[in-house]
Amino acid sequence: MTDYSIQKGDRVAICLRNYPEWIIAFEAITSVGAIVVAMNSLWQADEIYYGLQDSDCSLLIADQERCDLLAKTNLERSYPTLVVRGDSDSTLARWEDLQQRHTGASMPEIPISAMDDVIILYTSGSTGRPTREVSSNRAVISALLSWEIAIYTWLLTKGIPIEPPVEQPAALLAVPMFHVSGCHAVFLSAFRSQTKLVLTRKWDPTQAAALIEQEHITGFTAPAAMTADLTHHAKKGGHNLSSLVMVGGGGAARAPEQVRDIDVAFANAMPNTGWGMTETNAIGAAIAGEDYLERPGSSGLPAAVLDIRIASKEGHALPAGTQGEIQIRGTSMFRGYWNNPEATAAAHVDGWFKTGDLGYLDEEGYLFIVDRIKDVVIRGGENIGCGEVEAALLDHPQIREAAVYSVPDERLGEEVAATIFCDSQINEAELREFLATRLAKFKIPRYIRQSNDSLPRIASGKIFKLQIRQDARTAILKE
């Protein structure tokens, strides 16, 4: 607060790799009642600037890579920046100097309430720029306590004694902390359980296996693609992964065979997964152990602090076994979309949040996700807005129409694909170079199909994306 005059309610952006400084910065920001703006460290410079402007940040805390990226641009407005692990010749204010200057300083007394905003998380929307969800202290803490309730309830119902651990539990944090799963499900959850966190800078299954063996990791939670990589590595042998007692997932559904593979590949690990959203602070439903093996297609039972219903297009609750939109409400829900009351209102009906996911509840109350109503691709746990990618494609002078959609992928769950209509044939390699200046690498379509004709449209004039996606999926599967 002293150096940058950060006040309660101010926004402070964190744009770092998974460094320990991410955790320290989060603690420092929230301890004075300011709001963490968790930025995707894979963003390009214009995406970072969009986030800074959109949330009206007072300070950016970024590592040297992000600072170098921003320095190469000619974007107009600059922001006060604190560089983490900066180069010795950097002209920016250095994190280490600030830390040394204030070592031993007393903390200010700031009144913080449960309903105060604490974090803004960005997630890709279906219509263009990333959406930004703001949540309160109560919402985040409700999510953390809900996981505890779920674990203890599961243990009690299975007749498993609840005993304190003989040794300190340890978790491998392989998910970026700008993700709600990395931030909440792993990082913040570790405080309550006093879990040791082992951070990875970049995902590598061989390195992850070595760390699990070396650090006696007991828990690993990551998107389906990462758990599939680790499971494959475990089946090949070479590392002793017997310390693992939990292999969790989320972000995208696992294939049933992946669930069974976890049970076979790890000597002591219990498979689990869950369904949640940034808007729910990562919780929604969860399933583990034998329940999961018996229902590998399910996302589990609803969280204790949430209500889930399946609704028709008219907004009426549907009976068990009937497909409809999954709608949700409860204490862990986000407050709203930052500075966008219209979008917040549009996302709710009669107090229920419209998830945009299609699913059903069975007779026992287990949730099954069928598809998504919203136009979003989930690639290895990363939400990618089709509208944002389409906008980048349409920036190209030769492209007249673009449709972006998902195609199935065995490892990542889904991949990004695009069909474009152009004035003339475009060199695909050159198009990818063009997109690389506008989109993060993971958002660039893996499959690009060029059409010689205008894209098909429905009666309203909108592009008939469903037909395009079906045709493309069929063609890709044949290739």
CA distance linking residue 147 with residue 273, whole number of Å: 12
In this structure, the answer to whether residues 174 and 194 fall within a common structural domain is: yes
CA distance linking residue 143 with residue 187, whole number of Å: 13
In a domain, 6, yes or no: no
- For 159-210, the pLDDT digits (tens) are 988 888 889 999 999 989 999 999 999 999 999 889 999 999 888 999 999 9
What pLDDT, on the 0 to 100 scale, is given for residue 126?
Answer: 43
Domain end (from 325, 352, 372): 372
Quick one: average pLDDT of 447-453?
92
- Between 440 and 423, residue with greater pLDDT: 440
Q: Using the predicted structure, report yes or no on whether residue 98 has a pLDDT greater than 60.
A: yes
In this structure, the answer to whether residues 259 and 285 fall within a common structural domain is: yes
What pLDDT, on the 0 to 100 scale, is given for residue 310?
Answer: 98
Cα–Cα distances (Å) from 477 to 68, 75, 352, 378, 472, in that order, read: 41, 42, 38, 19, 8
Q: Using the predicted structure, report yes or no on whether residue 476 has a pLDDT greater than 60.
A: yes
Within 362-457, strands assigned E span: 367-372, 376-379, 382-385, 399-409, 413-422, 447-451
Q: Using the predicted structure, report yes or no on whether residue 432 has a pLDDT greater than 90.
A: yes
CA distance linking residue 93 with residue 355, whole number of Å: 42
Following DSSP, what letter does each residue of 33-54 receive, concatenated?
Answer: T-EEEE--TT--HHHHHHHHHH
In this structure, the answer to whether residues 100 and 65 fall within a common structural domain is: yes
Q: Is 474 exposed, middle or buried (0-12, 13-18, 19+ CB in 10 A)?
A: exposed
- How many Cβ atoms sit within 10 Å of the Cβ of residue 2? 10
In this structure, the answer to whether residues 363 and 380 fall within a common structural domain is: no
Q: What is the mean pLDDT of the chain?
A: 90
CA distance linking residue 145 with residue 129, whole number of Å: 32
Contact 401, 463 (CB under 8 A): yes
Token match 């929307």: residue?
Answer: 125
- For 119-160, the pLDDT digits (tens) are 999 876 444 577 899 999 999 999 999 999 988 888 898 898
In this structure, the answer to whether residues 406 and 313 fall within a common structural domain is: no
In a domain, 471, yes or no: yes
In this structure, the answer to whether residues 354 and 258 fall within a common structural domain is: yes
Closest-CA residue to 13 (of 65, 57, 45): 57
CATH code of residue 26:
3.40.50.980
- Record the tokens describing residue 435, joined without a space: 């997109």
Closest-CA residue to 411 (of 204, 226, 172): 226
In this structure, the answer to whether residues 330 and 411 fall within a common structural domain is: no
Indicate the pTM of the whole model: 0.85
Looking at the DSSP assignment, which residues form a beta bridge with residue 319?
Answer: none
Domain end (from 317, 338, 372): 372
CATH code of residue 358:
3.40.50.12780
In this structure, the answer to whether residues 344 and 233 fall within a common structural domain is: yes
Domain that holds residue 21: 11-112
In this structure, the answer to whether residues 390 and 367 fall within a common structural domain is: no
- For 208-253, the pLDDT digits (tens) are 999 999 999 999 998 877 888 899 889 888 899 999 999 988 766 6
CA distance linking residue 391 with residue 314, whole number of Å: 31
Domain end (from 354, 372, 390): 372
- How many Cβ atoms sit within 10 Å of the Cβ of residue 158? 11
- Indicate the angle between helix axes 224-236 and 205-215, nearest 10 degrees: 70
